[in-house]
Structure 1
Amino acid sequence: MIHVLADQNLYKIEELIPPQTQLNLYDPSKGIPDLGETDALLIRTVTHLNEDTLPSIPPSLKFIGTGSSGTDHLDNEYFEHKGITLADANGCNARAVAEYVMTALLLWKEEHQPSKSFGKVGVIGVGKAGSAVVDLLRDFDIECVQYDPPREERDPEFKSAPLEDVLDCEILTFHIPLNKKGDHPTFHWLNEEKLTGRKFKLIINAARGGVIDELALMKFYVKGTVENYILDVWEDEPDLNTEVAKHAFIATPHIAGYSEQAKINATKIVCDKLATHFDLDPTISKYKNVSKKVDLAHIKYDLTNILTRLHPIKGYDAALRDLFDRTDKKVLFRNLRNEWPYRYEYSFLKIRAELLDELPELEILGISRL
């Protein structure tokens, strides 16, 4: 029997964990409990593990899995040196992130330049999430520039645009991990130096807090050379800088990748990797991709109102702004992430056909006809 300790907020963990395991759950807000005879530890991005936070590792612990698309909250070198296998759920939320970015772009365009084209969009980081963003941009016939030198090094079929080309774009969207070391560090990738002498209509960060220097971003926003920005991630989250957030066109609590489908994908992927590591039978998922009908009978039929009915981005924005002056905003930030119901991705939504005819953007997003 494999003993597994898992974050209680890993979605459907009790249903998706392999059957030959004994599962115990923990509350991440209270820290990691005594690992005892734990064989596998399953966490989320809210838990940062390194030599300081987990100095004593029991000999039984052989596997750490995170229900997220990256491991930048883990000290990979430390745990690999200890003989522990690390696993993530890379790609689990790529479509959800892409839909967040495209929804944000459409809402921004409707408010700031309804009669103009988007302009050129620079996608910084073209892994699973960045590639999904590129796919959606192309579906909307939006010109994009793909920048990802590390991928070019490992993928002979991918060619990264030069740095100057991506910085010449009017809009930037970030989909890179947070790396402070290595050949391609990304901490404060967008900084005062890169912002100086350039103008941007919009900058979006739905990747990791810290890849943008938030204070520099706000400085150039105040100067007027960055017209708008949208942030889903924050340098010191959950203790976000409220002055930076107040100026954002949209500010959300690290939920770009949150959807019903993404959360099930994340838990299933990491549980399957756990099963492979310990030579267990994987769980057969009980969850099927069921579409959801949405009643839009009582709202004004314009793109902004329908998008904000179908996607919670503006609801999260309003809720986050409500806690700016609260002394317990760190706790409330976490609660926003953990307690709101997950949305359905667009391809699992159905609405009346006449709305799709009137607003073709909805069908491009993947919404089906009733």
Structure 2
Amino acid sequence: MKLLADENMPYVQELFADWAEVVTCPGRDMTPEQLRDVDVLLVRSITRVDEALLANAQQLSFVGTATIGCDHIDTDLLARRGIAFASAPGCNKVAVGDYVLAALLKVAEHKGWQLAEKTLAVVGVGNTGSQVAARARALGMKVLLCDPPKAQLDPTAFVELAQALTADIVSFHVPFTREGQHATWHLLDEPAIAALHGEQVLINACRGDVWDNAALLQRQQGSAPLTLVMDVWEHEPAVLAPLVPHVLLATPHIAGYSLEGKARGTFALYCALCELQHRAPSMSPEQLLPPPAIAAVHLHDTLDQALIARLVRLVYDIEQDDQAFRAALGKPGFFDDLRKHYPQRRELGSLQLINQNQAAQELGFKVSLPVADS
């Protein structure tokens, strides 16, 4: 069996090399010729799996994407050709929750806010949106949930988009769709952007085309700019460079790029292929991960916003990602290079807080109480 995988997917060799010939390459540069004798294809969101890519893929029997979203996969084509398909829903939801928590704390520092006094609207309450909502509640924030498809089943639990866009902070976590009743292309369009007031904060950690970047630039160049956190960009890997100086935190689509999240994504596809081939999985995700650099911290102070910010930076410093983005902006291939060479990042759950309670756990940390002396 020959397996072709995106070179940015970790642990492919560890999971598949004992039963497949493993070949890796840049995900954005995969060609039909490379798939001529491939049985298994493993991709991430930057690879468009369509008729053109699969033109020569006569042996292909399985396609897996180590992502939640599947808008880059022509699943109808796979079904017609009898090619099995698997994705990895939820694999990076914890990492995105960590990313947005780090962003919220940076926004609060920048604006002099106490987050417990603010309202956060989560637009799209799936795997990642639910994580973000839980972190915000743990910070004491009021949380509004906006998810039109889910609202059809339980209208009382959700608000309309218009109300969500009145919140102090609005975080987007929707799939990307161009058609249908709930299409998300330019969900945040020029009229919606123009109607926002200058103290508001917008966060996008889903898909770049959900926001009209040109309209955002026009707004940011005016007299009442917004505070923006942008992990994703319209027309990736191209970036509207003039917008970047007007963004508080700018990163290259890495919100879900924790080591744990990547491992879960690859492992989900490993399990799917094992099931298809009637093999018993011989490894677990825990066996793949190295020990964290800092495994535990003893705390004796109250867990307030300032201390939470210090603890988050101990595991993940979002400002380093922002600085790397700005330093590389404009260089040929900078966006994909940053993703390819992204430093190892652990999730907050890799850090155990000793002498802490449920609130710290809801923020994403591992917690434990000290053992009393006998």
TM-score by length of 1: 0.86
Tell me the SS of whatever aligns to 1:70. Answer: coil
Q: How does 1:267-278 map to 2 (within 5 A)?
A: 267-278=266-277
Tell me the SS of whatever aligns to 2:195. Answer: coil
Tell me the SS of whatever aligns to 2:266. Answer: helix
> How far did residue 65 of structure 1 move?
0.5
RMSD: 2.9
Q: Which runs of 5+ in 2 are unaligned?
A: 298-305
Q: Deviations over 1:15-35 (max 9, x none)?
A: 123854333323335423422
Residues 193 and 81 from structure 1, CA distance in 2 versus in 1: closer, same or farther, beyond 3 angstroms? farther
Corresponding position of 1:198: 196
Tell me the SS of whatever aligns to 1:98. Answer: helix
Residues 137 and 289 from structure 1, CA distance in 2 versus in 1: closer, same or farther, beyond 3 angstroms? farther
Corresponding position of 1:253: 252
Q: Which runs of 5+ in 1 are unaligned?
A: none
Tell me the SS of whatever aligns to 2:324. Answer: helix
**Would you say 1:310 and 2:315 are equivalent positions?**
yes
Residue type at the aligned position of 1:174: F
> How far did residue 88 of structure 1 move?
1.1
Q: Deviations over 1:216-254 (max 9, x none)?
A: 122223335452001001112222111112210000011
Corresponding position of 2:175: 177
* Counterparts of 1:126 and 1:87, CA distance in 2: 22
Contact 1:293 1:351 in 2 (8 A): no
Corresponding position of 1:50: 50
Corresponding position of 2:159: 161
Residues 127 and 115 from structure 1, CA distance in 2 versus in 1: closer, same or farther, beyond 3 angstroms? closer
Corresponding position of 2:326: 321
> How far did residue 86 of structure 1 move?
2.4
* Counterparts of 1:267 and 1:209, CA distance in 2: 24
Residue type at the aligned position of 2:62: F
* Counterparts of 1:223 and 1:206, CA distance in 2: 24
Contact 1:7 1:42 in 2 (8 A): yes
Residue type at the aligned position of 2:175: P
User: Quick check: 100-109 or 236-245, which moved more?
Assistant: 236-245
> How far did residue 260 of structure 1 move?
1.5
**Would you say 1:281 and 2:286 are equivalent positions?**
no
Contact 1:188 1:211 in 2 (8 A): yes
Corresponding position of 2:149: 150
* Counterparts of 1:237 and 1:15, CA distance in 2: 30
> How far did residue 45 of structure 1 move?
1.5
* Counterparts of 2:228 and 2:177, CA distance in 1: 22
Corresponding position of 1:23: 22
> How far did residue 264 of structure 1 move?
0.8
Contact 1:272 1:283 in 2 (8 A): no
- Identical positions, percent: 29
Q: How does 1:107-146 map to 2 (within 5 A)?
A: 107-114=106-113, 117-146=116-145
Q: Deviations over 1:280-337 (max 9, x none)?
A: 33242223684542799xxxx97666644431311111111112243x1xx2221211
**Would you say 1:346 and 2:348 are equivalent positions?**
yes
TM-score by length of 2: 0.85
* Counterparts of 2:130 and 2:290, CA distance in 1: 22
> How far did residue 133 of structure 1 move?
0.7
Structure 1 stretches of 4+ moved >6 Å: 360-363
